Each structure stands twice: as structure tokens, then as C-alpha cells.
Amino acid sequence: MADDISSDPYAPVEGVSLEQYTKAAVAGFGLDAAQAEEAAQAQGIPAGRMLAIGEEWSRRMTKHPEVVFKYNALYQAAMKEAGVVAPDITLEQYAEILKRGKETPLEQLLPEFGLNLQTWALVSGSWGERMMADTSLAVRFAQLLGAPGL
């Protein structure tokens, strides 16, 4: 990609903003290639360019962690806007998924809990926010994960 990101890692890629890319990623989740292409185009992604544009945004995220944080916030918002909701998962279930996820790929594990990668992202975001707001939850979470000394 020829985009110069030295001064602005948020500069559009081929005219596609991070917001557009994020909405296209959410809209295309779980669709076959033709449907995902159509969903990407509906978000203003030029035909056949979603993969290359996504690779450039990923490269920027690697070099600029602040872009990751912005992408994550946009992804969460786009999922909510698309009607994707986080199922109720207890703190114990959340900890169990994380522990078991060390040995079992999430794609195989999450369906046991009625989740997919999209809803997992919402669940993770939700529990992260709750633990930041209530440190007793964070302590309980650390205990569930088996943190030493707790």
C-alpha cells in the first residue's frame, strides 16, 4: 500500500476510513465470499479491495497500538448498531472460557456457551468494563483464573 501513515495512522486507506472498514468487517462476518463482498461494497469499500484494505489497517494496528483501541471501540459500536448483542455470561463462565481457550481454539469452544467470535468480543468488552468499574469483580476474576496469592 502506498499510503504514508507517518503523520496520521488514521488516514483513510484507498479512501476507506477506519470506521467504514470496521462496519464492513462486522457486516461481512460469517457470510460467504460473495455476500461479504456485497456487504463491504455497501459500506463504500471498492469492489475486490476489502482484503487489501484490511491488511493495511492490520499493518497500521501493528505499528500504532492506539489504532487497535480505536478499532475495538468502533467494532463494539458497529456490532451493537447491527443488532449483535452480548449474551449473558457469568463471570465464572467468562473465566472458564479464557482458561480452556489456552488449549482449545475459541472457534471450537465458544459454541458450547452459545457464542461466536463476534459475541465473544462483546462479552469480553462488557466484562472488561465491569471489572474496571468494580475492582471486587476483578479480584474475583483473578481468583477464578487461579492467580497466586488471592
104 assigned to some structural domain: yes
Residue 38, pLDDT above cutoff 60: yes
The verdict on 76 and 99 lying in the same domain is: no
pTM: 0.67
11 assigned to some structural domain: no
Element (H, E) at 12: none
Split at pLDDT 50, 70, 90, the class of 1 is very low
97 assigned to some structural domain: yes
- Domain closes at, from 63, 81, 99: 81
The verdict on 64 and 28 lying in the same domain is: yes
pLDDT in tens, 5-18: 567 999 999 999 99
The verdict on 48 and 98 lying in the same domain is: no
- The residue range of the domain holding 31 is 18-81
pLDDT in tens, 67-98: 998 998 898 889 888 888 778 899 999 999 99
8 assigned to some structural domain: no
106 assigned to some structural domain: yes
13 assigned to some structural domain: no
The predicted structure's pLDDT at residue 95: 96
Residue 59, pLDDT above cutoff 80: yes
CA dihedral 117, 122, 124, 130 (to 10 degrees): -170
User: What is the percent of the chain where pLDDT is above 70?
Assistant: 95
Residue 16, SS3? Answer: strand
12 assigned to some structural domain: no
The verdict on 27 and 68 lying in the same domain is: yes
Based on the structure, what is the number of domains in the chain? 2
The verdict on 76 and 106 lying in the same domain is: no
Question: For 24, phi and psi rounded to 5 degrees?
Answer: -65, -40
Q: Contact, 51 vs 90, CB < 8 A? A: no
The predicted structure's pLDDT at residue 5: 54
Mean local confidence (pLDDT), 50-74: 93
Split at pLDDT 50, 70, 90, the class of 149 is low
110 assigned to some structural domain: yes
